[in-house]
Copies of this chain bind each other. A is one copy, B any other.
Amino acid sequence: MVTIYDIARLSGVSKSTVSRVLNNHPYISTENRMKVEKVIEELNYVPNSIAKQFRQKQTKCIGILVPDLNHPYFSQLVSSISSECNRKGFKTVVHQTFSSKKLEREVYTQLRNKELDGIILTSSLLSEEEIAECTQKNLLVACNEDFSGNYFDVFCLNEENVTFEATTYLLNKGLTKIGFCSDNIDTPSQQARLRGFILAHDKKGLNHTKDYIFNQISTVENGITLGLRLFKNRLEIEGIIAGSDFVAAGLIKSAEIHDIKIPQDFSVIGFDNHPISLATTPQVSTICNRIKDMSNDLVDHMANKINGKKQIPVKKIYNGKIIIRESN
């Protein structure tokens, strides 16, 4: 392996000078710079970046903690975060937890071991307190998940508000028996949605039906199966906040099979404004998220922190928006 020392020897300067050339320091004689660059070229020298990292105590790696990449929302979020990080000179290490607390804790250990400069959390099954304890003084920022902001910085959608609005929208249409789907009800973001759902009922003096709150519903298949259950037994449920466009698509397909007319007999509102919402008949009314804005702000903030720029604590909340199409 060619090292900085070989370059120094062959170009008749010291290691420091080579290092300076490599790092674009000012104040180097053009003569020496050229000699060094020539030898670098000749020997096809590539700097050993681990040695550099070791010296500087930085990995230039940011971890992204995500439940599952094989998911229309999270793959989009990670795509956006990752490319922003790359643009700012950081590599991104993806860690899927598959909703395992154990795997999640292991990633925090990597952070403590300095294998990562920081972690971006997109979803968690642990409490803020436990996360803070696991990560200690190391850098962690939450994106997407609605934490308090007392333990680490947070960038998230106003899930509660937007679900409140969507629910109110259905309620205003005169529906009274509305369902609610979530993928994992134990996460802060889903809890926030549920609060919005319930609050909308409260504000109208109505009660929500506990039996119509469904958990672990996240895919097209889940939507189809749920629809089967709902429509076959001709339940009195009149509409649903589906929590995802994929679930909405499944419900719509299921309704068609059971000859339930949407939106006449049943209303559906999806989430995320995923292209699939355009492909169904009727097209899915949905809620658009703010992935791009969130990830840009977040990565900017994170990069500044890593580079030692003082940042004030933030909890930044983004407003989603309802997009009314044909399914309600």
Which 8 pairs, one residue from A and one from B, show the smallest C-beta to C-beta distance?
A75-B75, A69-B79, A220-B275, A70-B79, A249-B279, A54-B54, A70-B76, A49-B113
With a cutoff of 8 Å between Cβ atoms, the chain B residues found around residue A110 in the complex are 49, 91
| Contacts known (A113-B48, A219-B275, A279-B249); A93 close to B96, Cβ less than 8 A | no
State how many residues of chain A have any CB contact under 8 Å with chain B.
55
Quick check: B278 and A281 within 8 Å, CB to CB?
A: no
- Using a CB–CB distance below 8 Å, which chain A residues touch chain B? 46-51, 53-54, 57, 59, 61, 68-72, 75-76, 78-80, 82-83, 86, 91-96, 98, 103, 109-110, 112-115, 219-221, 223-224, 246, 249-250, 252-253, 256, 275-276, 278-281
Count of chain copies? 2
| Contacts known (A49-B114, A82-B96); A220 close to B276, Cβ less than 8 A | yes
- Bound together, the chains give a CA A57 to CA B51 distance in angstroms of 9
Quick check: B46 and A50 within 8 Å, CB to CB?
A: no
- Bound together, the chains give a CA A48 to CA B47 distance in angstroms of 21
Quick check: A93 and B91 within 8 Å, CB to CB?
A: yes
Quick check: A94 and B114 within 8 Å, CB to CB?
A: no
| Contacts known (A83-B96, A219-B275, A276-B249); A115 close to B50, Cβ less than 8 A | yes
